[in-house]
Chain A
């Protein structure tokens, strides 16, 4: 298959390193073992990924122990992780919580938590969605009240990625003066988290109930409305990158199989019906790659069209990934319909990712709005 959404030789190199690492450390059987055991990660893999490769710190500013890169490099890593279906709290910790802390520009908060994220000792997540499941700030009902010198958070968050294992929960809640982000220790009193049974067993989602949980406000002194929406856009762009990786992997699997599986005395890839399916998927993947590249570059440099670019990438890659996963099953025939083949794991991941940040209808409506329609 082709390379990736790389701007530079540096990106290519990063991609190769991550791909090789995941190929060795997160092959299918490892993914399945974690999945079956319901574990959130392989600790050895996590420490290598954080320590040796420095991937947890990739988007963390250097002064907080990271490599100081941004969304574009993170996208490269996430694409590879999506391709490997890595079971680890990476997306939640790095793409959600890490980027949220950085975007908050809250020196105290950054100094307190980013070094832990960068060196892999702290896992974290961002809790936005509630009853409706949508990542829509207007629907946030969780409340934060001043308590003692800090805050107390009350409310229930749903579909929180790695919400039951995260060391740090960044909770979007309503304070008397408006929307805010509140840092709650995963083990704090008044926090009750439970994993949900969802379509995708490779990504843990949890419901987290907060009952007067002690919290620290993040982004004090700054208008949350000025930076939190950007965090959500970064999240969309990041998820799109991960989806792109999944789609590309499905295409790879389908093409490799179509080359070797013979029926009627020739490879099934020689039948035009199969060729066209694969070609359509390549069109999807290549367009997705451009969309992801555009979205992460726009987010990195704070372009005014960054929100549009993010929704666009998410919408396109959601579709590309689900389609690729379905065609991958179809092209594999009976084998693609088995539990043992990985195709369904990608379909499960694709379908859940498509819904995770709000279903397609909502995203399309937002896209139209952002495009000025």
Chain B
């Protein structure tokens, strides 16, 4: 069985690639960075709008909301792959996630209200799910939303909110019923981030940059019409939209290939103790060979997953499995990139000794995010064991 794309899809890929080359925002996305600098945001809003207008984002939406008739999930994958290949920005924030929720569960009024502004780049969204006490165990979230006439009054704290400092709207989960099973009392909301009582405070990550935030919610009033789906039905909304993150699967393989090329280039340019180029050194060749194999496996695996998604035979464990595998290969690759630089691997961005302006050192630190964000690997492995292998369930 082969997972290659048809000629028609490959032609589509060429068109996407040409489009990105021509209209792309230019700014190369720095490795691992999840949020743009504030001064990049206006141009990136325009870029997002352009991608939507060209039908490269949101193409599988119903035509009534701007979708492209005939578009399939494979087209979506191709766009994500090409954006990754160009190492540029795609959609900023959680717009796709929010759109997925609104399309699947929202009211007609919500669709009319939110979708056009996602398409125009006017509204950037963030994902307000995780809390200090609720990470892996998301369903235990404590942020409270209490009904008050035609509003809900929300109090609590969210954390690790990527792009929260740029976001116009937040896709929020809050507890509306504390007296039922934890999954049964959660409601999803669209929160206007400029509502009084919303306090966004930047957090710095391991590299010193600020991509994510803590968000404090103090008596925040959300109109009842901003409830997405049913009151107390938020868990279903959230789970369905988390599944939408899967278009990243094949883009990850593209990222690994790009890193692999960089690694080979690095091995050509550095010398071993014996004074030969590292690429000629047996141990180095083996190490890079192993990583090349892993990158290729990631690629074929993601293509298999992609084709299963396309024909509706996706397994519930596919996403977690791919994510665990990618994140670990990615770690191994960044380790190798730093190791190949020998003692010089200590030098970072800004130093004259630094190779490629410290790219690998940053990548090495940022790589830790992928084993935690979007589900920690330990938890995902349990999911894989239970869903794919049918092992007895852990108490949860």
Contacts and interface: CB of A to CB of B under 8 A. Distances in A.
Contacts of B140: 263-265
- Could you tell me the dominant secondary structure of chain A's interface residues? mixed
Interface stretch (B19-27, B43-51, B85-93, B338-346): B338-346
Contact of B343 (A263, A333, A355): A355
Given A273-B382, A355-B342, A336 B372 contact: yes
Contacts of B381: 273
Contacts of B184: none
A337 B205 contact: yes
A344 B367 CA distance: 12
Interface string A249-274: 00000000000001111000001011
Contact of B346 (A198, A264, A330, A337): A198
A181 interface: no
B140 to A, nearest CB: 7
B346 A333 contact: no
Nearest to B362: A199
Interface in A316-373: 326, 329-330, 333-334, 336-340, 344, 347, 351-352, 355-356, 358-362, 365
Given A132-B273, A333-B135, A273 B208 contact: no
B376 A330 contact: yes
B interface bracket (residues with beta carbon within 8 Å of A):
35 or more
B368 A329 contact: yes
A70 B344 CA distance: 32
Interface stretch (B112-120, B188-196, B245-253, B349-357): B349-357
Interface in A200-217: 200, 205, 207
Given A132-B342, A263-B135, A264-B136, A196 B353 contact: yes
Interface of A: 129, 132-134, 136, 158-159, 196-200, 205, 207, 262-265, 271, 273-274, 326, 329-330, 333-334, 336-340, 344, 347, 351-352, 355-356, 358-362, 365
Given A197-B358, A334-B160, A361-B283, 7 more contacts: A134-B273, A134-B343, A197-B354, A334-B130, A334-B372, A339-B207, A359-B339
Interface of B: 130, 133-137, 140, 159-160, 203-208, 271-273, 283, 338-339, 342-351, 353-354, 358, 361, 364-365, 368-369, 371-373, 376-378, 381-382, 394-396
25 contacts: A133-B342, A134-B342, A196-B347, A197-B348, A197-B358, A198-B347, A198-B348, A198-B351, A199-B361, A200-B346, A205-B346, A207-B353, A263-B135, A265-B140, A271-B394, A329-B372, A330-B371, A337-B369, A340-B203, A352-B346, A355-B338, A355-B345, A358-B342, A361-B272, A361-B339
